Chain A
Amino acid sequence: MAWLLKALSQLFRPAPKPGAAELQAAFRSRYRSFRSLITANNAALETMAEMEAALHSGKPFGMAFVRGQCTALGVNVYKMIQGLRELSDGRYRDLPERFGLVTGRIEAILSRQPEAVGSSYVLPLEEIDRRAVDQVGAKLANLGEVRNRLGLRVPEGFAITAAASRHFLESTHLQDEINRRLKTLDLDDLEALFRTSTAIQKLIGSAPLPEDLERAIQDQYRRLAGKAGGAPLLSVRSSALGEDGRQASFAGQYRTRLNVSPELLAHAYRGIVAGKYRSQAIAYRQERGYRHQDVLMCVGCLVMVDAVASGVAFSRPPDQPRSPWILIFAAPGLGTQVVEGRSPSDVFRISRDPPHPIASRQVASAGGDACLPDEQARELAAAAARIEDHFGAPQDIEWALDQAGRIVILQARPIGRAAPQPESAPSPDPDQAEGPPPLLAGGVTASRGAACGPVFTVRSGVDAVHFPRGAVLVVETPYPDWTVLLNRAAAVLSASGQIATHLATVAREFALPAIFDLPGLLEQVTDGQIVTVDATSRRVYPGRVEALLRSPPARPNLMEGSPIHRLLKETLGLVTPLHLTAPGSPFFRASSCRTLHDITRFCHEKAVAEMFDFGRRHGFSDRAAKRLVVAEAPSQWWVIDLDDGFREGLDTSSPFVRVEDVVSAPMRAIWRGMTAVPWHGPPPVSLRGFGAIVVQSTMNPRLDPAVRSSLAGRNYFLVSRSFCNLSVRLGYHFALAEANLSDLLAESYVNFQFKGGAADEPRRLGRVQLLAETLRAMDFRVEMTGDALTARIEKKPVPYLRERLVVLGYLLIHARQIDMVMDDEAFVERYLEKIHADIRMIRERLAEEV
């Protein structure tokens, strides 16, 4: 019984009050959690900004980027949750669950698999039309359509499907290995790109085909041989899923093998499948926002055409969608001369209207005949017009003329979306413009526009590895291999080739100025020389010619609408929208967090509150708020020392502290800004403005109760030597300024949030706009959600950030009541002028001190 009494008495004895040393230790450990929470907060906000920037910049990114950013973000947001729970002795128990919910949704988006495709490994061309596009790729689906719906002549053949290539790569376990290698690939490292590409192609090229697939292919070949007679040789071509769509041309990214005998068919097939991982194809997919796993390589096996001539027909010239002309490029024999730009070709301009009269004919061989007779040229033009009508868009058509004089269609695809360029923007007349005479003139405009950069001549893959960003690519022949460089080039110059080459097609897509067939090119320019390329007027100038570069064409956002772009956009829907903007509102709680941004904002706000409350809650004067002793101030200010924010030897038992006792560099900077210009009270309030405030104060139920209850002013600085967090609740405004001034650039930042105001909405928005403009002019990155504003700047040297903090301090005091006077435009004008003049004065004074 005695033991029970003893136990009971112990149970009811009050816990011993922790001593100062224990409190100090508890506070220190909280401060450590707080610091790591703040670091994680910054990293998370930065990652979000990078993801947003990627969405809008048009710069290429791949799945590795999206996954990597999401991982970094998840890690940092989780660290914040962990930090807050440590700070609060394990409260906020529902935060991890909210986090799990949001990240689970994001993971589901990221892990979406490409749609399942049909199950046959092979399909004869007779059975293919547009509906088979997900099985055989757009190139073969279109060819099937041309054969089976339009009744035009195409080679006999069959397709090896997407299901086949998936079966091949999965049954040999190659896909996992390929994914692993691509995941860590840094596309800016061209050497690594070439190395990885070669290694992957080698892996695929040497893997055996699964037996059932090999058998299916051989069966199809026998069927084809029976139909065509003898043992026909094949042309084996890629038809990637997602290739040749309307948005991206994938021109020349993959392989074609000609004259393939049945014995070498399996080998050729592996080669084409491996071609998916050619370096330019990897780079191109990345540039255009295609996930590697979404592009499946289908392969067309078509009977070789014994060709007299072959080439390309455009149902309209590439950059003139309303032109009345059809363009035909023709070269003798069969092959890829025209598209690879290996030899000059005959060019026909033919009317689109029957009977398709020929308007002009340029013959490549001097004094010789055109390699395509007029009659067949007109027949081809008629076919091109029909194909365009059928597909409803201008077409880029590959064709051949067989020994019997018949036109055979080898391929049809929509003309690559030419980047929007001014239809007839005249180049400044070079003779009128000041500056040097052109270095080179002539050739053909492969893609319009002007650009400037150093010349870099590429003759081989080795040269390509060293191609610098922003250089002018100079080549002798526009091989498709060089497309890998187009995302880094400023312009393209080629000594030969014409607009039907793959390189020209891709240059147009990238809105890259390009002149081809430029006589004397290689002799006239030297590597490293700065030149200005004016592709529109087909001239190259030495040096930089500003007049030509004045309005560079905006690069189109090539990622827009691509699968990866859509995926990032969808992901960001769960990341960046901010629903928790009003701290203290009943909705400002863990269960309201719907995005990762909400969670970071929630954790940050609550962590600051925990640090603020510690001293008071534990009656611990060392770490309790001390009233700042100031002669004149518009409100009351409190300071809490987190670590080493007060001068050494200060008597910490006093409830007061003077500004001189504070050694926190960021707080001193903010305070300096707050007191830089004498405080004259709020500007005179217009009658309407004042009325609106009174009405808002009494009628608006959405007014944040925490803000209202703190009308008395709860403005406090949390400080350490390098860190300061200032929360200001003046009137109905809530503002937060936070900064860390560290010699470690990675840790340095200034963060500013602003919300609220008692005026009606248009005026609040007006003020936020004005603040945003002022902050942007000082290089802050500013975002607005309704009348809430956030502004950030990071990783800058201390003096640079200090200057911005001083200005922020000034703005906190002087800009917060602009909305009350926003009705009176003249007054706003004057008030703004004064603000800008003050800021100039403050910055000049700071500059003088340096």
Chain B
Amino acid sequence: MERALRILLVDDEEDFLEPTSKRLRRRGFEVKTARRCQEAMSEVAAGWPEVVVLDVMLPDTDGLECLRRIRRASPLLPVVILSAHASMQAGVQGIELGASDYCLKPIELDELVEKIQIALKEAGR
């Protein structure tokens, strides 16, 4: 049997984090959550996640800055940005910094899973 995929959810909204991680686990993923960029970075440094779902509004750091740090620490780790901020400029910035996609909340679980799968494929995993 295949090993479960490890997803790191980075978001400070409890309303999003809890139900989403629960539902992803029910789909057979292994999920860890981080509420701050710093927490996320220690998971990335430990090499735990295989894909990161990242909110761009974090309490300690601007999400794009957090993305920059993740890329520095692990240049090939796929990152899907999930944001409440609909803006072409922000989206393009995210892609420029190496995110595989810039998605908007609210998002259906199926769609999120689809984006994660595409991100992994693009990273050649």
Contact = CB atoms under 8 A, between A and B. Distances in A.
Interface of A: 32, 35-36, 39, 64, 67-68, 70-75, 78-79, 82, 103, 106-107, 180, 183-184, 186, 744, 746-747
Interface in B93-111: 94-96, 101-106
B92 A75 contact: yes
7 contacts: A39-B118, A39-B122, A71-B88, A71-B102, A75-B101, A103-B88, A107-B89
Q: Which of B88, B114, B117, B118 has the most CB of A within 10 A?
A: B88
A184 B82 CA distance: 12
Contacts of B122: 32, 35-36, 39
A70 B91 CA distance: 10
B87 A71 contact: yes
B72 interface: no
B95 A82 contact: yes
B86 A70 contact: yes
B88 A183 contact: no
Contacts of B92: 74-75, 78, 103
Contact of B104 (A68, A79, A180): A68
**Closest 5 A/B residue pairs (Cβ):** A74-B88, A67-B86, A75-B91, A36-B122, A746-B114
Contacts of A78: 91-92, 95-96
Nearest to A102: B88
B84 A746 contact: no
Q: Which of B92, B95, B96, B121 has the most CB of A within 10 A?
A: B92
B88 A184 contact: no
B114 A184 contact: no
Contact of B87 (A39, A67, A186): A67
Contacts of A79: 95
A71 B95 CA distance: 12
A75 B84 contact: no
B124 interface: yes
A674 B84 CA distance: 48
Nearest to A73: B88
A39 B90 CA distance: 20
A395 B83 CA distance: 46
B59 to A, nearest CB: 15
Interface residues of B, number: 24
Interface in B7-41: none
B24 to A, nearest CB: 17
Contacts of B106: 184, 186
Contacts of B124: 32
Contact of A183 (B86, B114, B117, B121): B86
A48 to B, nearest CB: 14
Contacts of A64: 86
A75 B118 CA distance: 14
Interface string B42-79: 00000000000000000000000000000000000000
B103 to A, nearest CB: 8
Contacts of B118: 39, 746-747
A71 B56 CA distance: 15
B86 A75 contact: no
B101 A71 contact: no
Given A78-B95, A82-B95, A180-B84, 4 more contacts: A64-B86, A82-B96, A107-B89, A184-B105
B84 A183 contact: yes
Given A71-B102, A71-B104, A744 B117 contact: yes
Contacts of B86: 64, 67-68, 70-71, 183
B84 A74 contact: no
B44 to A, nearest CB: 22
Contacts of A73: 88
Contacts of B95: 75, 78-79, 82
A103 B93 CA distance: 13
B104 A70 contact: no
Contact of A72 (B85, B104, B114): B104
B96 to A, nearest CB: 8
Contacts of B114: 744, 746
Nearest to B57: A180
Contacts of A180: 84
Contacts of A75: 88, 91-92, 94-95, 101-102
Nearest to B115: A746
Contacts of A70: 86, 88
A67 B103 CA distance: 12
Contacts of B90: 71
Contacts of B104: 68, 71-72
A315 B86 CA distance: 46
Contacts of B91: 71-72, 74-75, 78
A187 B114 CA distance: 23
Contacts of A746: 114, 117-118
Contacts of B117: 744, 746
Nearest to B123: A32
A744 B110 CA distance: 12
A796 B83 CA distance: 29
B89 to A, nearest CB: 7
Contacts of B103: 72
Nearest to B113: A746
Contacts of A103: 88-89, 92
A547 B80 CA distance: 52
A519 B31 CA distance: 58
B105 A106 contact: no
Contact of A184 (B84, B89, B102, B121): B84
B12 to A, nearest CB: 14
Contacts of A186: 106
A74 B88 CA distance: 5
A788 B102 CA distance: 32
Contacts of B84: 180, 183-184
Nearest to B89: A107
Nearest to B119: A36
